[in-house]
Amino acid sequence: MNHLPHYHADILLNQNIYAPELNYSCDEDTILLLGSRYVLLRKEFLKYKDFKRTIPKKAKNILVTLGGADPDNVTLKVIKALNLMGDPDIEVKVVVGPANPHIKSLHKALLHSPSSFCFQHARIDSLGGFGY
């Protein structure tokens, strides 16, 4: 974040993708570990180290999620735009938050869609976490 005027540290780690662009003021012997090459991950992720993603020319899987409430019902606008495409080959997952007041209008829009939609409504459980 680089939010302090100066850092007194042996090692400074910022694993965010934008970190190498930040100009940190540090002691001259501070070791800077900046960027995603220093990301802290569990061993299970090592098998993906050399993974090369193939990106199709046309998207087939789309995730739509616009926050916990979406007071302006932007989710509905996105669903309508996807419906206008009229593409039966795409699969769309719509995840709405627990405070979204537009569930009925979203369901209605999904009923008339030529595409495959999966709708999930996140709810806050008794422990304060999210459930679906």
Distance of CA 92 to the CA centre of its chain: 15
C-alpha distance across the termini of the chain, in Å: 33
Give the pTM: 0.57
128: left (phi over 0), alpha (psi -120 to 50) or beta: left
Digit-by-digit pLDDT tens for the chain (132 residues) are: 899 999 999 999 999 999 999 999 999 999 999 999 999 999 999 898 889 988 888 888 999 998 778 999 999 999 999 989 888 888 999 999 888 899 888 888 888 788 888 888 876 654 555 555
C-alpha–C-alpha distance, residues 53 and 76, integer Å: 30
Cβ burial of 32 (10 Å; 0-12, 13-18, 19+) is middle
